[in-house]
Amino acid sequence: MTVLCVFLGLLVGGLVNQLGSDLPARRSLTPPHCPYCGRVRPWWQWLSLPAHLVGRSGCPSCGAPISLRHPLVEIGLAVAYGYLWIVFEPSVKLAFYLLYSAIFALILITDIERRLILNVVMYPAIVIALIANFVTRELVWWSPPLGGAIGFAFFLGAALVGNALFGSGALGEGDVSLAAFVGIITGFPLVIEALILTIVIGAAASFILLVTGVRGLHDHVPYGPFLVAGAVITLLWGYPIAEWFLYR
Ligand SMILES: [Zn+2]
């Protein structure tokens, strides 16, 4: 069954790849096609990983390769799906976590490639996250909305201050709605841990990017990946980390 879940992750990865290309271009879902010549890919290239593995990832029409993002997303979601299946076993919670993984992957694609976190992704994600706790009953009923409000307020404040200090665009509307989503799925009080991890990871990653010269002082670094990292770590290991920190 784990193998089936890994395969499901691979398929969802293919779908997320296509949404990551189509949604920022304001298209509805299209069949996978070459971004250079526009030709629809043959069926055996719809998942890029097998095509890459047999060395046939070039477009049959113009020869342009499928970008490396495609197999990376497919592998990433396949590994995530396998891991989540083993850790959470078949449950309603697992179903929501598989869905959140796909949402996070889509956010990473659009934020890293185009500095966009789309409302068309975040609004449905927030509605799903608000409904989720009524189904799973993991947290007391007020915990997810309070967590969402804290994530929203904190990042709205950070965006207002950041834009006043560094000019507009340091943090965007998308970051604020992503922070609300993260707050809803982690809930109160874990949202605090998710926000702290986001800031720590963001600072460490920005420092490394600056020192290695990958980014300059005035370059924009997308903040979505740090929020996603903070959320994932908190959802998987939030309580052990909090215990270690508070009671060691
Ligand atoms: Zn082509």
Query: Residue-wise over 99-119: b if at least 16 C-beta within 10 A, else e?
Result: ebbbbbbbbbbbbeeebbbbe
pLDDT of 87 > 70? The answer is: yes
Helices 92-114, 2-22: axis angle to 10 degrees equals 40
Kindly state whether residues 230 and 132 are assigned to the same domain.
yes
d(Cα 232, Cα 187) in Å, to the nearest integer?
13
Does position 131 have pLDDT exceeding 70, yes or no? yes
- The answer on 200 and 125 residing in a single domain is yes
Residue-number span of the structural domain to which 59 is assigned: 1-90
Residue 216 structure tokens: 């300059």
Alpha carbon of 177 to ligand 1 centroid (Å) = 36
Rg (CA), the chain: 19
For ligand 1, the distance from its centroid to the CA atom of residue 37, given in whole angstroms, is: 4
The residue-averaged pLDDT of 113-130 equals 95
Q: HSE on the CB side for 138, CA within 13 Å?
A: 20
Helices (H), ranges, 117-189? 119-136, 143-166, 173-186
Taking 90 as the threshold, does the pLDDT of residue 126 lie above it? yes
Tell whether 191 and 236 lie within a shared domain. yes
So what's the pLDDT on residue 109?
Answer: 97
Of 90, 108, 143, which residue sits at a domain end?
A: 90
Å from CA of 34 to ligand 1 middle: 5
pLDDT in tens, 20-39: 999 999 888 999 999 899 99
Q: Ligand 1 centre from 48 Cα, in Å? A: 14
Q: Is residue 160 part of a domain?
A: yes
Considering the domain architecture, whether residues 157 and 229 belong to the same structural domain is answered as: yes
Whether residue 214 is predicted with pLDDT greater than 90 in this model: the reply is no
Number of domains in the chain: 2
pLDDT of residue 163: 81
- The alpha carbon of 33 and the centre of ligand 1 are apart by a number of angstroms equal to 8
Output DSSP code: residue 142. Answer: T
- Indicate if 147 and 195 belong to the same structural domain: yes
Report the alpha-carbon distance of residue 78 to residue 76 in Å, rounded: 6
Per-residue pLDDT for 167 more than 90?
no
32 C-alpha to center of ligand 1: Å?
11
pLDDT classification of 123: cutoffs 50, 70, 90:
very high
| pLDDT reported for residue 168 | 66
Question: How remote is the CA of residue 185 from the centroid of ligand 1, in Å?
Answer: 40
What's residue 213's pLDDT? 84
Task: Give pLDDT tens digits for 46-74.
Answer: 999 999 999 888 999 999 999 999 999 99
Cβ contact 116:21 at 8 Å: no
> Are 133 and 244 members of one domain?
yes
Tell me: do 196 and 77 sit in the same domain: no
> Measured in angstroms, how far is the CA atom of residue 110 from the centroid of ligand 1?
22
Same structural domain, 193 and 245: yes
Residue 110 has pLDDT above 80, yes or no: yes
User: How much is the pLDDT for 220?
Assistant: 76
Residue 16 Cα, ligand 1 centroid: separation in angstroms?
20
Q: Residue 92: CB partners within 8 Å, gap ≥ 6?
A: 135, 136
The residue-averaged pLDDT of 195-218 equals 89
The span from the CA of 86 to the CA of 135, in Å, is 21
Compute the mean pLDDT over every residue in the chain, rounded to the nearest whole number.
92
78 in Cβ contact with 13 (< 8 Å): yes
Please report, rounded to a whole number, the percentage of residues in the chain having pLDDT higher than 70.
Answer: 99
Residue range 122-132: mean pLDDT, rounded: 96
Q: What is the pLDDT of residue 169?
A: 67
Residue 104 lies in a domain: no
